[in-house]
Amino acid sequence: MLPAQLGRAPRHLLVCERSHARHPRSRHAAHVRDHAYSCRVSFLIPECGVLPEVVKSTIADIGDYYLVRSLPVHELVTHEFIDAFVKKGSCYALSYKTKIDQDNTAALLPNGKLILSVDKGTYEELGLQGRPSRYSGKKVMRYIITIDLTDAGFQPESKKHNRVLWALKEKKPLEFDFLLAWYNTGAEGSTLMSYFSKNQIQALKPKITFSTLRDLQCPVLQSNDLQGKPEESCSTEELFEWLGAVLNQVSLDNKSSSFLSTYCCPEPNTVVEKAFLCTITGFIIPEKIIQLLEQLCSYFSEPKLAYWLTLTVHGFADSPVSWRESEHGFHKGGENLYNFVIFRNLDYWLQMAVGAHDDCPP
């Protein structure tokens, strides 16, 4: 290691956007929808002691998700499954407890794309067409296979379908624990529970925790100023750092005598008497996050003391995709998250962060 490289930190990206939630061309809902796999949603409302009933009911309505043990991947490409779930709503599936940089990983996106991130050996055994991963230097050790299940050429008994089925069933049978969720507007049709009843399936509820933070120092933000001005408002980066500290319950008191830490709340700030923090952990689908976002926007329809609130969504660090189908990897941190700051006038900031070699978020 040369001294010049000693000071270099790994690459990462933070994209900040500013717009208005009610603007006809605002893309906030699209951004949420494109980010398929989320494992933790937390929101922070300053100057709020009890949660309004509407938001409470939205949280309660987040819905179950399912964990299926050792499900063969070929079950996801059968036509019974595609017709029953993929074409009739948004079906989300993600392999569970697989590490993106060492294991094979599978993910089914709501648009019907099945994405397999496999190592070189598996790729060669499978014999399906793919492309080299961005996370494998000169010597390609990892490949990404994308199969479009809703493609016109992917009919039953078609050549393509048979080949995929044969590869996944006989050539190299792949098996994962899957996290599954399904969202459809109509209530008819069979459910995932009954469809996979012969497999080990388990319905799980998201874990919800509430807490009230007392005497919290909050940075002052100006909705029309992303970069912030000294003495007037804080920038997005500063807010992002602060939010990390709050979510991790780091003490923000900045004593000059402290030997341990020099961390303090960015300037300027105000002390908020109480703030409400809610965290939902589970396999949360974007449709529910959009609902929650709408409820939080309508929180400001009545006059409130709070000037802004935040909604942070963490993606799975080991998911093979971040936004849409753009590849995601772990590298050093695997961050894959976005954060909304919604202001009283319904202006919003959206911060999207991905790490290492990921594509820029849309």
* Contact set for another protein, span 16-55 (CB under 8 A): 16-20, 22-23, 25-26, 39-40
Site for another protein in 125-144 (CB under 8 A): none
Site for another protein in 259-298 (CB under 8 A): 259-263, 281-283
The token pair that represents 110 in the structure block = 């709501």
The token pair that represents 135 in the structure block = 């996370």
Among residues 66, 123, 196, 240, the one that binds another protein under rule CB under 8 A: 240
Q: Is residue 338 within 8 Å of 350, Cβ to Cβ?
A: yes
Smallest distance from another protein to CB 271, Å: 20
The token pair that represents 274 in the structure block = 């109480």
Q: Is residue 38 within 8 Å of 313, Cβ to Cβ?
A: yes
Smallest distance from another protein to CB 300, Å: 14
* 60 lies in the site for another protein, by CB under 8 A: no
Instruction: State the residue for tokens 């990390």.
Output: 244
Q: Which is nearer to another protein, 1 or 271 (CB)?
A: 1
Dihedral angle over CA of 118, 81, 78, 143, nearest 10: -10
User: Mutual orientation of helices 286-298 and 53-60 as an angle, nearest 10°?
Assistant: 170
The token pair that represents 330 in the structure block = 């772990």
User: What's the rounded Cα separation, in Å, for the pair 267 and 273?
Assistant: 18
Site for another protein in 179-238 (CB under 8 A): 204-207, 223-224, 226-227, 236-237
Dihedral angle over CA of 260, 266, 272, 275, nearest 10: -80
* 97 lies in the site for another protein, by CB under 8 A: yes
Smallest distance from another protein to CB 7, Å: 4
**Binding pattern for the stretch 308-337 against another protein, x by CB under 8 A and - elsewhere:** ----x-x-xxx-----------xxxxxx-x
Among residues 29, 51, 220, 245, the one that binds another protein under rule CB under 8 A: 245
* 15 lies in the site for another protein, by CB under 8 A: yes
* Backbone Cα Rg of the chain: 22
Among residues 292, 309, 355, 358, the one that binds another protein under rule CB under 8 A: 355
Smallest distance from another protein to CB 240, Å: 5
DSSP string computed for 44-80:
EEET-SS--HHHHHHHHTT--EEEEEEEEGGGGGSHH
Q: Which is nearer to another protein, 111 or 222 (CB)?
A: 222
Binding window for another protein (CB under 8 A); candidates: 8-16, 116-124, 151-159, 301-309? 8-16
